[in-house]
Amino acid sequence: MRGVLNFAEGDAAPVLKDGEPAKSVALLGNIGSSIWPAFERWRDLPMNKGLRNPLDTWSKTVIAPVAQDFGATAYFPSDPPWQPFQQWAMRAEGLQASPLGILIHPQYGLWHGYRGALGFGRALPASTPVIQSHPCDRCFDKPCLSSCPANAVLVSGFQIAPCRTHLTMPQGQAGCMSVGCLARNACPVGAKYGYMPAQLRFHMAALSL
């Protein structure tokens, strides 16, 4: 459980399976590599080998039964209609975007994610935002900017085109594609929660270059 958000009158709330607007959503996700061992065991089962989007499929396999048990509607970042997961997280946890575009958590840094959400037709006890100030504002060295070999990470925002071009080149294949985004790895916030090497390679390999 990552956070709970209640919708106010006039909010663009997601639709529940009964057609009514949700009153609240509970965000579900990972902290560091918390999900990775279970996912790897599932992915290595003979019936699951060769799946096109294994992590999305695993997330649905795990979360859908939970939604059914609680009488909730499950939402997933991979499924249309695309739900505003980042906006939900910003409201529920008080997070803000880093220069890489990833929401940064004051404890977990850039090493967390959202795998799904449960929608309810009633309000739930809302979570308290975890931060009052932006961690990046307290980071004076900002190694994420200087560590990007493609100069794609700027204070003004992340530049997709130079990043994608770099990743297709030999130096990109030997660098970020092998060990994970160098700029992300350089962030000092929550460094101890960094993803396992196999998880880093998995996410980089999933990029459509």
| pLDDT digits 0-9 by tens, 145-190 | 999 999 999 988 899 999 999 999 999 999 999 999 999 999 999 9
Looking at the fold, whether 76 and 106 belong to one and the same domain comes out as yes
Give pLDDT, residue 113.
Answer: 96
| 145 three-state secondary structure | helix
Which residues are paired to 100 by β-bridges?
Answer: none
Q: Which helix (H) or strand (E) holds 116?
A: strand 112-120
Residue-wise pLDDT tens digits, 90-105: 999 999 999 999 999 9
Looking at the fold, whether 142 and 121 belong to one and the same domain comes out as no
Q: Output the CA–CA distances (angstroms, integers) from residue 4 to 27, 28, 92, 115, 170, in the order listed.
A: 6, 9, 6, 14, 43
Looking at the fold, whether 140 and 124 belong to one and the same domain comes out as no
Q: Which of 79, 104, 128 is the last residue of a domain?
A: 128
Give pLDDT, residue 191.
Answer: 97
- With a cut of 80, say whether residue 208 has pLDDT above it: no
- Answer whether 99's CB lies under 8 Å from 158's CB: yes
> Cα–Cα distance between 187 and 182 in angstroms, integer?
9
Looking at the fold, whether 115 and 174 belong to one and the same domain comes out as no
Q: Compute the C-alpha angle 61/66/70, nearest 5°.
A: 155
Give pLDDT, residue 129.
Answer: 83
Looking at the fold, whether 36 and 110 belong to one and the same domain comes out as yes
For 194, the domain range is 136-205
Give pLDDT, residue 81.
Answer: 92
Which residues are paired to 28 by β-bridges?
Answer: 116
Give pLDDT, residue 145.
Answer: 97
What's the mean per-residue pLDDT of the chain? Answer: 95
Looking at the fold, whether 148 and 119 belong to one and the same domain comes out as no
Give pLDDT, residue 128.
Answer: 85
The domain tally of the chain equals 2
Rg (CA), the chain: 18
Looking at the fold, whether 41 and 141 belong to one and the same domain comes out as no
Looking at the fold, whether 25 and 79 belong to one and the same domain comes out as yes
**Token code pair at residue 132:** 């009052």
- Global confidence as pTM: 0.93
Nearest to residue 47, comparing CAs of 38, 34, 57, 60?
Answer: 57
Looking at the fold, whether 17 and 82 belong to one and the same domain comes out as yes
Looking at the fold, whether 155 and 105 belong to one and the same domain comes out as no
Residue-wise pLDDT tens digits, 38-69: 999 999 999 999 999 999 999 999 999 999 99
Q: Which of 128, 157, 176 is the last residue of a domain?
A: 128
- With a cut of 90, say whether residue 79 has pLDDT above it: yes
